[in-house]
Amino acid sequence: MSTATEVRAALSEDELSQVDALWRAANYLSAGQIYLLDNPLLREPLRPEHIKPRLLGHWGTSPGLNFVYAHLNRLIRRHDLDMMFVTGPGHGGPALLANTWLEGSYPEVAPEAGQDADGMRVLFRQFSFPGGVPSHVAPQVPGSIHEGGELGYSLAHAYGAAFDNPDLIVACVIGDGEAETGPLATSWHANKFLDPVHDGAVLPILHLNGYKIANPTVLSRIPGAELDELLRGYGYAPHYVTGSDPALMHQAMAATLDDVHARIRRIQDEARGGSRERPRWPVLVLRSPKGWTGPSTVDGKPVEGTWRSHQVPLPNVRGNPEHLRALEAWLRSYRPEELFDRDGGPKPEVTALVPRGERRMGANPHANGGLLLRPLPLPDFAAHAVVVPEPGASSAEPTRALGRYLKELFANDAGRRDFRLFGPDETASNRLDAVYDVTAKAWQAEVEPADEHLATDGRVVEVLSEHLCQGWLEGYLLTGRHGLFSCYEAFVHIVDSMVNQHIKWLRTARGIPWRRPVASLNYLLTSHVWRQDHNGFSHQDPGFIDHVANKSAEVVRVYLPPDTNTLLSVAEHCLRSRDYVNVIVAGKNETPNWLGPEQAALHCARGAGIWEWASTFPEREPDVVLACAGDAPTMEVLAAAKLLREHLPRLAVRVVNVVDLMRLQPDTEHPHGMTGWEFDALFTPDRPVIFAYHGYPWLIHRLAYRRTNHAEFHVRGYKEHGTTTTPFDMLVLNDMDRFQLVIDVIDRVPGLARTAAPVRQAMTEARERHHRWISEHGEDLPEVRDWTWS
């Protein structure tokens, strides 16, 4: 790699000198962060005590990132662009800190790291230092919406940021390691969902520096022609910049970026002028050495251009005088004295190409989306509520009602375009299809006559990739918009690791004063564990709740609305909230309506409460508490309550429903947690509690183990018993059916074992009747199918 592919003199001599100075300065500052505790400007000879005791950080990717950043700065200046920078190789934190320091956006949010020698010392020292800044492009880095600690999501984030931002260009550097991940491999197809009229542009910059931690990368080791076919097959027009000679590379990069920018504008002009052709957006492939400009060999082994430059190329600088000398030579090779003035600030030549104000990528308001966030024009949920003259007398499909609510929201939002619904091909299956009355599914590929609800400007986004849905939504939210992700409950585990990272991001961002709150990430998990009639065991997994419950309590909320109106109330609340991850689990199947809209709103606000209308002898201390969380458990608990009324009419049964699961935690653990007093008032200090829960039963124990009455909690839930079978059989398989709940009451309430033995026997027989019936008829017992509360 010694020559650039394309050398057109796009830069004047002055510009060439300026872009090189900016690059050298960023490289100097990147290496400085990894190594230096002191002597930041090398104004004295480097000594061991100037070196950090623990050398941490990633050099390998940094010079490439700095190269791209410098050249994008030139492009922004030249065309007054509104541009964001997404850093796929997010462990190149030193590079982004260096560039935002040079452009002044970092000192604005971290004044202690000002543009002078003291500030540079702070910049260096704090990096990967206890109490300092982390090593990735974390929320602390201005301009970032993508930490990149976990690889694979940069391009999805970039597309999410570009949706509905027609004037924005999102430059996205993709590492060739990251490019091997599945999510990144499918993210290229996002160009079939990006509308050149209403959306902005994404400029993917595939950075082939050839190596991961310890291996070459796939895309750097296939023939160039094969890579070209791959990118064209993904629907892009590839542009290449290849080489290692800085002067040639600067010219090639500048010329290529000019071309790429012209192509973007041409696509947008044509589309906005009425063209209907799917565009071939450009992709830039930058092939440059890993650890470019760093030590070429260390201890006799090649380092620059190999995986050995991935982290810290000179590992033993404090202890090995030769390494110390090599470091000093390396740092001085950037000629810091030409780059920084007497005070330590960057000289005018260094910053000549840096944009001003909000055009600086570290100060682009889209990257601090809360600055741009507007409250959604939310409809009043009560207008879409179902009428409930008495509990359980009617039924509805909860998600279908939510679909009508979202339809009105989409209609209200049409002129703003800052709300989207994401899903992996399940919007209709999840019965939210009323939204198609007012918007369509985004689709830029070919359309055939039988197709329905597809349009280039649709605001529903469906692709069979939970990773893409999640990544797009994260990018959309972090740039100041709103959204909802509707997903099959079992398969939301596909994005477990992504939601980890998003929660960590929100948790950290909450502690950073200049990061403004963003809209919450809202999940609607439906087609849930209890209703997988078509699919069976593989589709049965309620564990996402457990997964998020492990994360920071400040961020995580879990709601289990038992019917239609509670779902509407919860959804409205979640769409209004900020900086949370809200998990809503709700069914799509016909469900009894328990609460009218006002009762629903009140119940959801309280998060948990006694349903007196379902309880017996509400004036007495109950003999037993029947608790429920989730739609299927709620129906079973009410069916059990009805059986108890019939068979044990003198028993005082309290029915408690929990909508907001985190209410069960102590108030010291979670902001929604109940105090001990509240908890005991609901669940009693000492009576048996038979708790029917939507998910894995032990989660209730984990949330409630500190409560007075915990020893009396007896939880039923999903125990990994499942197959393709009837809805009621699923409950029986997991011992959460109404008959078993009555048996549980009899077994737990002192004194009932003897007196209620015949009732217990009747319940056992009912379960046996069920088994015989379904194996013969293939559907549930008529008494179960036709059951109603009232």
End-to-end Cα spacing for the chain: 79
| Contact stretch for a second copy (CB under 8 A) within 250-258, 364-372, 457-465, 647-655 | 457-465
Produce one character per residue of 274-304: b if its CB has 16 or more CB atoms within 10 Å, e if not: eeeebbebbbbbbbbbbbbbbbbebeeeebb
Bridge partner list, 525: 487, 585
Q: Which amino acid is at 101?
A: W
Pick from 118, 167, 229, 337 the residue near a second copy by CB under 8 A.
229
Does position 207 bind a second copy by CB under 8 A? Answer: no
Q: Residue written as tokens 């190329």?
A: 313
CA separation (Å) from 657 to 524, 627, 694? 20, 6, 12
The one-character DSSP state at 492 is G
Using CB under 8 A as the binding rule, the residues of this chain from 25 to 84 that contact a second copy are 37, 52-54, 56-58
Shorter beta-carbon distance to a second copy: residue 151 or 581: 151
Pick from 186, 486, 593, 615 the residue near a second copy by CB under 8 A.
186
Does position 113 bind a second copy by CB under 8 A? Answer: no
Residues 788 and 27: their CA atoms lie apart, in Å, by 71
Minimum distance between the CB of residue 503 and a second copy, rounded to whole angstroms?
8
Shorter beta-carbon distance to a second copy: residue 36 or 759: 36
For residue 193, give both structure tokens.
Answer: 């969902």
CA 292, 298, 302, 307: dihedral to nearest 10 degrees? -60
Minimum distance between the CB of residue 53 and a second copy, rounded to whole angstroms?
4
Using CB under 8 A as the binding rule, the residues of this chain from 598 to 617 that contact a second copy are none
Does position 318 bind a second copy by CB under 8 A? Answer: no
Q: Residue written as tokens 């379960």?
A: 767
Pick from 152, 295, 344, 673 the residue near a second copy by CB under 8 A.
152
For residue 717, give both structure tokens.
Answer: 């839930």
Pick from 2, 13, 44, 233 the residue near a second copy by CB under 8 A.
233
Phi, psi of 127 (to 5 degrees): -65, 125
Shorter beta-carbon distance to a second copy: residue 193 or 559: 193
Residues 784 and 615: their CA atoms lie apart, in Å, by 21
Minimum distance between the CB of residue 694 and a second copy, rounded to whole angstroms?
13
Minimum distance between the CB of residue 137 and a second copy, rounded to whole angstroms?
10
CA separation (Å) from 524 to 402, 484, 589? 10, 7, 14
Pick from 9, 213, 329, 387 the residue near a second copy by CB under 8 A.
213
Adjacency order of strands within the sheet including 482-488: 454-455, 441-442, 460-462, 419-423, 482-488, 521-526, 581-585, 556-559
Beta carbons of 46 and 38 less than 8 angstroms apart: no
Does position 552 bind a second copy by CB under 8 A? Answer: yes
Using CB under 8 A as the binding rule, the residues of this chain from 327 to 366 that contact a second copy are none
Pick from 226, 390, 590, 783 the residue near a second copy by CB under 8 A.
226
Q: CB under 8 Å to 727, separation ≥6 — which residues?
A: 530, 531, 533, 589, 632, 780
Q: What DSSP string runs through 579-645?
A: S-EEEEE---S-EE----HHHHHHHHHHSEEE-GGGSSSTTSPPSEEEEEESHHHHHHHHHHHHHHH
Phi, psi of 169 (to 5 degrees): -115, 125
Using CB under 8 A as the binding rule, the residues of this chain from 166 to 185 that contact a second copy are 177-178, 180-185
Does position 306 bind a second copy by CB under 8 A? Answer: yes
| Contact stretch for a second copy (CB under 8 A) within 63-71, 443-451, 563-571, 751-759 | 443-451
Using CB under 8 A as the binding rule, the residues of this chain from 78 to 97 that contact a second copy are 91
3-state secondary structure of 126: helix
Does position 541 bind a second copy by CB under 8 A? Answer: yes
Pick from 296, 316, 395, 497 the residue near a second copy by CB under 8 A.
497
Minimum distance between the CB of residue 149 and a second copy, rounded to whole angstroms?
3
Minimum distance between the CB of residue 696 and a second copy, rounded to whole angstroms?
5
| Contact stretch for a second copy (CB under 8 A) within 164-172, 232-240, 356-364, 672-680 | 232-240
Pick from 47, 221, 332, 620 the residue near a second copy by CB under 8 A.
221
- The CB density around residue 111, as the number of other CB atoms within 10 Å, is 10
Q: Residue written as tokens 């379902």?
A: 614
Does position 400 bind a second copy by CB under 8 A? Answer: no
Shorter beta-carbon distance to a second copy: residue 230 or 762: 230
Element (H, E) at 785: helix 782-785
Beta carbons of 639 and 738 less than 8 angstroms apart: yes
Q: CB under 8 Å to 258, separation ≥6 — which residues?
A: 10, 75, 78
Using CB under 8 A as the binding rule, the residues of this chain from 245 to 284 that contact a second copy are none
Using CB under 8 A as the binding rule, the residues of this chain from 717 to 776 that contact a second copy are 720, 723-726, 729, 774-775
| Contact stretch for a second copy (CB under 8 A) within 15-23, 74-82, 219-227, 649-657 | 219-227
Element (H, E) at 681: helix 676-683
Beta carbons of 643 and 572 less than 8 angstroms apart: no
Phi, psi of 318 (to 5 degrees): -70, -35
Binding mask 676-715 for a second copy (x = CB under 8 A): --------------------x-xx-xx--x----x-----
| Contact stretch for a second copy (CB under 8 A) within 99-107, 371-379, 464-472, 743-751 | 464-472
Adjacency order of strands within the sheet including 689-693: 608-610, 653-658, 624-629, 689-693, 713-716
Pick from 35, 106, 159, 443 the residue near a second copy by CB under 8 A.
443
| Contact stretch for a second copy (CB under 8 A) within 62-70, 549-557, 577-585, 683-691 | 549-557
| Contact stretch for a second copy (CB under 8 A) within 341-349, 439-447, 566-574, 677-685 | 439-447
Pick from 507, 531, 557, 642 the residue near a second copy by CB under 8 A.
507
Residues 253 and 285: their CA atoms lie apart, in Å, by 10
Shorter beta-carbon distance to a second copy: residue 333 or 429: 429
Does position 782 bind a second copy by CB under 8 A? Answer: no
Q: Are strands 653-658 and 608-610 parallel, antiparallel or unpaired?
A: antiparallel
Shorter beta-carbon distance to a second copy: residue 222 or 757: 222
Shorter beta-carbon distance to a second copy: residue 205 or 545: 545
Does position 228 bind a second copy by CB under 8 A? Answer: yes
Shorter beta-carbon distance to a second copy: residue 537 or 789: 537
3-state secondary structure of 331: helix
Minimum distance between the CB of residue 485 and a second copy, rounded to whole angstroms?
15
Pick from 200, 204, 295, 305 the residue near a second copy by CB under 8 A.
305
Give the chain's length. 790
Using CB under 8 A as the binding rule, the residues of this chain from 402 to 431 that contact a second copy are 425-429
Shorter beta-carbon distance to a second copy: residue 698 or 789: 698
Residues 434 and 374: their CA atoms lie apart, in Å, by 25
Using CB under 8 A as the binding rule, the residues of this chain from 129 to 148 that contact a second copy are 129-136, 138, 147
The site that binds a second copy (CB under 8 A) totals a number of residues, namely 125
Residues 207 and 184: their CA atoms lie apart, in Å, by 13
Pick from 38, 341, 358, 546 the residue near a second copy by CB under 8 A.
546
Beta carbons of 163 and 477 less than 8 angstroms apart: no
